[in-house]
Structures are given as structure tokens and as C-alpha cells.
Amino acid sequence: MSLSLSQFFASFWTGWTFTWPTALFALIWAAWVISWAVGSLWAGRTVKRAAAWNMRAYRVPIVAGAILLLPWTATALGEQPLWDVGHGGAYALAAATLAGTLFTWWARLHLGRLWSTVITRKEGHRVIDTGPYALVRHPIYTGLCAGMLATAVAVATVTALLGAALIVFGLCLKARMEERFLMIELGPDAYGPYCRRVPMLVPFLPHH
């Protein structure tokens, strides 16, 4: 039994998750995934959901990107990092990853029961334009993009970089679809001025 357990952990903690300090990124994302899953139990009643076939457009690149970013993919392909950021660079990028995940939680808590994993209109849905939503219209996606890109730069494999790029692309698609959905559901008089006032994903950039 001890041998099988050691083999299990050896297969799980492999690649960049087994090497410090890149293992720190795995710990950050594991904590985020677990806490996010628990937090998903706290949400309001869904009134309307976007068409399921529309959701595939952004889910495919996100899932594909996540698979490419996993350490087992790089291990299976025998990949080596394209560069070495060093311990100082890794810790700085880990701090950026942690900041990105904390930004998602700030947005999640600020949104409250209006939050959902998919594109929906919740009971009592309204435009939220305070807190992180005064900086960007989709702060959860902003935090995820920042964290994923920082992780990929630290891991520095081709698959990790491509995976992060696909996730960012998928989140951008989801943000666009969500905005079209909310523009219809909340009305252009309510959601339109917010879109004109606040950038979509990157704070302080020109927006429309």
C-alpha cells in the first residue's frame, strides 16, 4: 500500500509542480480552485441562462488551455523550459498570480449572489459598478488572465504559454458573449453607459 501511495503522489506531483519555486504556483491554484468550488454554493436563483450552444465557443479554448497548462502535459511531451526566470523572478510572478486570484475573490464577494459560473441573469440582477467593477467590467476574468499569464511565464514551456493564451482567448470570448447577453437582459439604457465608462478587462485602457 505504501508503494502504491508513493507512486500516486509521484505521478501527481510531477513536472513543474514538483520543483520549487514553481510548485508554489500549483499550491496557489489548488487553493483557489478548492475555495472557488466551495464559494460556488453561494449564488442567487437563476432567472435566465444563455443558450448552451453559445457557451461551447468559449469553453473549448478554456478547457484546451487548461489541459495544456497542466504539468502532466509538459512531462508527457518531455518539454523543457524555454527560459529560467530564477528564484527572484519566480517569487515575483507567484506574487502576481496570487494577486490575480485575490482580485477574483474581491470581485466574487463584491458581486455577491449575482455571481454565476455561466452566463446567466440572476434574480434581482442589476449593474454593479463599484469596487473592482469600477476598474473593469469583468474583474474575475481580469484576475484569472493575469494569474494564468504570470504562471505560464514562470513555467516557461511552450504548452504552458499556449495554454495560458487559449484561456485568455476563451475568457475574452466569454466576456463579449456576457456583455451581449446583459445588454439585452438589463437593457442598453442600464448597461450601455457602464460599458462606455469602464474598460472591459484592462484597467485604464481606452474602452467602448
pLDDT for 146-200, tens place per residue? Answer: 999 999 999 999 999 999 999 999 999 999 999 998 998 888 998 999 999 999 9
Instruction: Report all structural domains of the chain as residue ranges with CATH numbers, in order of start.
Output: 20-35+43-197 (1.20.120.1630)
pTM strictly above 0.75: yes
DSSP 49: E
Contact yes or no for 101/143 (Cβ under 8 A): yes
Contact yes or no for 155/85 (Cβ under 8 A): no
Grid cell listed for 88: 527572484
Q: Give 49's strand partners.
A: 120
Find the mean pLDDT for residues 117-121: 77
Give me the long-range contacts of 79-82 (CB less than 8 A, separation at least 24): 79/157, 79/158, 79/159, 80/157, 81/155, 81/156, 81/157, 82/156, 82/157, 82/158, 82/161
Residue 104, judged by CB atoms within 10 A of its CB (0-12, 13-18, 19+), counts as buried
Residue type, position 135, single letter: L
**Cβ-proximal residues to 119 (8 Å cutoff; 6+ apart), any chain:** 49, 50, 54, 55, 174, 177, 178, 181
| Region of poorest pLDDT, from 5-19, 126-140, 141-155 | 5-19
The closest of 105, 4, 120, 124 to 54, measured between CA atoms, is 120
Is residue 60 scored above 50 in pLDDT? yes
Instruction: Note the pLDDT of residue 205.
Output: 77
Write down the number of H helices and E strands in the chain. 8, 2
pLDDT digits (tens, 9 = 90+) for 67-102: 999 888 988 898 999 999 999 999 999 999 999 999
3-class state of residue 48 by DSSP: strand
